[in-house]
Structure 1
Amino acid sequence: MRYGDSGMKKKVVAAVAAVFAGGILLGCSSDADVVSENLSKESDQFKIDRRVVFFNGITDKYLLSIEGRCSIKDENNQLEVTCKTGENEYKKHFLGLSDNVSYFVEQLEAVEVSRYHYKVIFKPEAIIPDVDRP
């Protein structure tokens, strides 16, 4: 059986899904943990409006504000903010952090997520290569 056959792809997808689901079930133990994880996943899918504000902790002045359906990733001294600006349009901002520059992220509206069910977003095209493509 070739790797590109659909039977093999289904087995790989099932195995990866089981690993992800098992990891999430072990990692979240309380209702708050489940809700927090689900809110983070919704934000990373650009479904939640946020406001990201950068401020100088010494002068108490705002330096920058970004609003929209944005996903954030804190990379130590740099915050990466990716925002969806259209149907298939995105903008990514890199903002440096220091001992006097910090940020906070505000969720602009309440959204409904389950406290009983974990949300797993599985995109097989991101992990299974298209081996039939030249």
Structure 2
Amino acid sequence: MKRIITLLMVAVMIIGLFVLTGCTEAERVSQNLSQEADNFNVVRQLTVINCIQGDVLFQMTGKMSITSDNTDHQLEVIVEDENGLYQKHFIGLSDNVTYVVEQKNFKNVDKYKYTLNYNPKMWIPVGVKNID
């Protein structure tokens, strides 16, 4: 009788452990995708948008790890080049600038190549004067 009670208690504890520590499939998939992206295995497209005018400031596409630094109000984007070296880019965020990160499923994409496209309308023209 004692053995049956002990077995039942162990079974209840094991079931309780699975119920309390279980996570949903969506949480597991999200964690796996984030880990793959941080390991530079996922092609992403980062789009930064001016919310006041609705203009795209720039887009960056490639295999990259993206971290939002809320303290400094910026995105930190790390990319790896073909030599195994890393580059880190900082993108400042404000009340009127937001961003979207999309996962892309490109075929035959070079792991070490990324593109960065700026919106030319967003640049302020600068004139240079020669002083004689």
Which TM-score applies when normalising by structure 2?
0.60
Is 1:53 aligned to residue 47 of structure 2? yes
- Indicate the SS of the match to 1:86: coil
Shift of 1:89: 2.2
Identify unmatched segments of 5+ residues in structure 2.
1-19, 107-132
Is 1:79 aligned to residue 75 of structure 2? yes
Which structure 1 residue ranges, 4+ long, deviate > 3 Å from structure 2? none
Larger-gyration structure (1/2)? 2
Partner residue, 1:64: 58
Which of the pair has the greater relative contact order for Cα pairs under 8 Å at 6+ separation?
Answer: 1
Identify unmatched segments of 5+ residues in structure 1.
1-24, 111-134
- Indicate the SS of the match to 2:95: coil
Residue of 93, 96, 99 corresponding to 1:100? 96
Name the aligned partner's letter for residue 97 of structure 2.
Answer: V
Query: Which whole-Å deviations, capped at 9, do the CAs of 1:23-48 have from their partners, x for residues lacking one?
Result: xx95x710000000000000000000
Alignment of 1:8-19 (within 5 A): none
Q: How many percent identity over aligned positions? A: 42
Partner residue, 1:33: 27
Shift of 1:58: 0.9
Inter-partner Cα distance in structure 1 for 2:83 and 2:25: 33
Query: Which whole-Å deviations, capped at 9, do the CAs of 1:40-71 have from their partners, x for residues lacking one?
Result: 00000000011101010111101111111000
Inter-partner Cα distance in structure 2 for 1:55 and 1:38: 27
Which TM-score applies when normalising by structure 1?
0.59
Compute the RMSD of aligned alpha carbons: 1.8
Partner residue, 2:6: none
Partner residue, 1:21: none
